[in-house]
């Protein structure tokens, strides 16, 4: 059951104190935010009692649905045993090691290489910031420090931190904070409905879009390109 909530009060405190990302503040000030109070399986409820199908799965991240008792129990048990510790300075902890080993076992082989190491972060944006540093460091250590450029896609979305928003190709985000940061560049998005040519099939368009990456690498010089980043299915931006 929903605990009764004073929607107007929460909306007013929200307006006064809570900064939201990706929000039209004028619109929010005029209409107030929708107050989500409860969730179960694939549904969420708002403070006015509306039951909504959460087709977005939170922000594309509630992969196993809401209200999973076994997850709550495991989290409770771990919070009571060891709620936090860092992994700097040759320190580790049991669940982090076990999860890394499990993820390594589940990760697929790509190009004959398997993924055997896990680096944890708290969000997709932070992960991509770490990726930029790791990729550049990797090439430095291989004696190719000139390989710095990372290629992303126009309207790709890779997060909202400085590097994440730079890897992404959304001009509205680039306008905030002088982005992209140096040595990040973008190619066109594989968006058939907008960019497909008359008579072109989706498969033909896919090959043409893949060609934009090859063209960019050749234009920059392959020895300058550190990495390409892309969503398998471009989702967040439009």
Q: Which residues bind ligand PLP (CB under 6 A)?
A: 59-60, 123-125, 157-159, 231, 235-236
* Nearer CB in complex with ligand PLP: 60/119: 60
* Nearer CB in complex with ligand PLP: 61/142: 61
Could you tell me the smallest distance in angstroms from the CB atom of residue 76 to ligand PLP? 24
* Nearer CB in complex with ligand PLP: 149/237: 237
Could you tell me the smallest distance in angstroms from the CB atom of residue 11 to ligand PLP? 24
Could you tell me the smallest distance in angstroms from the CB atom of residue 198 to ligand PLP? 31
Could you tell me the smallest distance in angstroms from the CB atom of residue 122 to ligand PLP? 8
Could you tell me the smallest distance in angstroms from the CB atom of residue 160 to ligand PLP? 6
Which residue number is nearest to ligand PLP in terms of Cβ? 124
* Nearer CB in complex with ligand PLP: 124/169: 124
* Nearer CB in complex with ligand PLP: 47/161: 161
Among 133, 138, 141, smallest CA distance to 183 is for 133
* Nearer CB in complex with ligand PLP: 118/220: 118
156 in Cβ contact with 167 (< 8 Å): yes
- Dist. CA 214–CA 137, nearest whole Å: 24
The whole-angstrom distance between residue 202's C-alpha and the CA centroid of its chain comes to 26
Could you tell me the smallest distance in angstroms from the CB atom of residue 201 to ligand PLP? 26
């Amino acid at each position: 059951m929903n605990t009764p909530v004073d929607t107007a009060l929460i909306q007013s405190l929200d307006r006064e104190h809570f900064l939201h990302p990706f929000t039209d503040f004028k619109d929010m000030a005029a209409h107030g935010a929708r107050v989500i109070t409860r969730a179960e399986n694939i549904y969420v409820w708002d403070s006015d009692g509306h039951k909504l199908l959460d087709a977005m799965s939170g922000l594309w991240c509630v992969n196993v649905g809401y209200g999973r008792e076994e997850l709550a129990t495991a989290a409770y048990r771990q919070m009571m045993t060891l709620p936090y510790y860092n992994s700097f300075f040759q320190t580790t902890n049991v669940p982090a090691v076990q999860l890394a080993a499990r993820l390594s076992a589940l990760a697929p082989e790509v190009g004959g290489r398997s993924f055997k190491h896990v680096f944890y972060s708290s969000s997709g944006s932070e992960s991509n910031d770490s990726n930029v540093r790791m990729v550049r460091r990797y090439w430095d250590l291989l004696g190719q420090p000139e390989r710095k450029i990372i290629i992303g896609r126009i309207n790709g979305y890779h997060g909202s931190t400085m590097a994440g928003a730079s890897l992404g190709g959304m001009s509205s985000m680039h306008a905030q904070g002088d982005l992209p940061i140096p040595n990040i560049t973008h190619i066109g998005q594989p968006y058939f409905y907008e960019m497909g040519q008359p008579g072109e099939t989706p498969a033909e368009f896919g090959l043409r879009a893949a060609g934009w990456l090859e063209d960019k690498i050749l234009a920059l010089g392959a020895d300058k390109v550190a990495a390409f980043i892309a969503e398998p299915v471009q989702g967040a931006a439009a």
